[in-house]
């Protein structure tokens, strides 16, 4: 798939990844990181910055560290990565007993940990954890609106009808549960949510809404919100990538052609808006200043684009693969830190346009960068 020069570059990145993760994993083996402070990973398994039930051990990104360990185990065969992945998976058991901090993001939490573990080792405890999480996710389905509710009660007010584009990456947990148990209900819920998302979230030009509010009693769209983007009607880039990659995941699991077409439409919009620099802003429709960027969106987009390229015709393949390689080369060339000055790899993530802080390490950026690199090699552990 790759040109000779790109193959040499890819091997160089894999060598740097392997070298860095060797010491980073040992240094942080008992943690569940989210970001860094003075170059050292924090630990969301013990820290709770806000005191809210959804922070701390129930924080939505807490599956990605385990996912990184499974990717490294798959790539290297080194048993230490499997051991470290098991530490964070067991710590997440506390979330089930705490309960109140869990919401739609259980897919992000247990696909890279328990589902990955079960796929690789057949661990029956991991299967049980993942099925428990799948039942929690299925229980959030709103029949009237055909959507999975996003967060629990928030300070913003009544959120019973809220759904978000991010959930397209949680519903693969439901596809897995149907495949594993033979029970079609999980897949039916996942597909209904995906179908609703195609019409309610994805705009004709391929841009997407972040938050859509439905009438929780009667169904139907009540309004949309800008969410983590610049404003209502704008184009939050990470939301674009959740949709791009998420609809590909639904296509891979179901074969429904509309999901593939939707993923391509979103991909075309994303590719058309990639700056010449290859550096992705937080929102494609944000003001020129202040310049706010999000490397995590580039990494996630690359994963989705590579998956589309695998299933594209010869005339299309180079478009998707070329865009993915451009994004990843940009990240490696000017956005990664391969030194021992920091535990993280990507340096410039942004949680939301209106966040107080920007351009810092975020764990899922590193996860999806690793996944994309191993996809290019043809040796990724597909856990979705």
| Cα 335-337-338 angle, rounded to 5 deg | 130
Which listed residue (12, 38, 166, 318) is catalytic?
A: 166
Q: 136 — phi, psi (to 5°)? A: -65, -40
Active site residue 93: no
**What are the phi and psi torsion angles at 371 (to 5°)?**
-60, -45
Distance (Å, whole) CA 199 – CA 219: 13
Alpha carbon distance, N-terminus to C-terminus of the chain:
22
Q: In which element (H, E) is residue 83 found?
A: helix 79-91
Candidates 105, 294, 332, 380; catalytic one: 105
**Are the C-beta atoms of residues 241 and 180 closer than 8 Å to each other?**
no
Question: Can 12 be counted among the known catalytic residues?
Answer: no
Q: Is 188 exposed, middle or buried (0-12, 13-18, 19+ CB in 10 A)?
A: middle
Greatest Cα pair distance in the chain: 57
Distance CA 101, CA 110 (A): 14
Give me the active site residues, please. Answer: 105, 166
């Amino acid at each position: 798939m790759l040109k000779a020069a790109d193959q040499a570059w890819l091997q160089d990145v894999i060598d740097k990844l392997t070298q860095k993760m060797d010491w980073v994993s040992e240094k942080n083996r008992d943690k569940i990181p989210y970001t860094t402070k003075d170059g050292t990973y924090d630990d969301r398994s013990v820290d709770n910055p806000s005191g809210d039930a959804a922070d701390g051990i129930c924080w939505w990104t807490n599956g990605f560290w385990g996912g990184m360990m499974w990717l490294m185990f798959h790539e290297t065969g080194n048993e230490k990565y499997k051991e470290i992945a098991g530490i964070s998976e067991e710590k997440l058991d506390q979330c089930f007993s705490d309960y109140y901090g869990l919401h739609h993001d259980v897919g992000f939490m247990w696909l890279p940990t328990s589902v990955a573990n079960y796929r690789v080792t057949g661990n029956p405890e991991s299967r049980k954890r993942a099925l428990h999480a799948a039942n929690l996710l299925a229980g959030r389905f709103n029949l009237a609106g055909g959507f999975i509710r996003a967060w629990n009660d928030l300070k913003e007010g009544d959120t019973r009808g809220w759904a978000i584009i991010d959930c397209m990456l949680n519903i693969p947990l439901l596809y897995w549960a149907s495949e594993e148990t033979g029970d079609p209900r999980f897949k039916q819920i996942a597909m209904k949510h995906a179908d609703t998302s195609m019409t309610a979230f994805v705009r004709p030009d391929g841009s997407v809404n972040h938050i859509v509010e439905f009438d929780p009693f009667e169904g139907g769209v009540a309004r949309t919100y800008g969410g983590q983007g610049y404003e209502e009607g704008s184009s939050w880039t990470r939301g674009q990538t959740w949709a791009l990659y998420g609809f590909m995941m639904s296509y891979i699991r179901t074969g429904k052609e509309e999901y593939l077409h939707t993923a391509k439409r979103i991909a075309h919009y994303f590719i058309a808006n990639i700056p010449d620099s290859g550096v992705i802003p937080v929102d494609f429709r944000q003001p020129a200043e202040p310049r706010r960027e999000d490397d995590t969106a580039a990494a996630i987009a690359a994963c989705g684009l590579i998956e589309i390229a695998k299933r594209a015709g010869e005339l299309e393949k180079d478009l998707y693969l070329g865009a993915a390689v451009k994004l990843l080369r940009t990240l490696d060339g000017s956005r990664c830190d391969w030194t021992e000055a920091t535990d993280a790899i990507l340096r410039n993530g942004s949680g939301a346009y209106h966040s107080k802080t920007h351009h810092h390490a975020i764990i899922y950026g590193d996860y999806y960068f690793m996944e994309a690199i191993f996809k290019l090699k043809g040796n990724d552990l597909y856990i979705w």
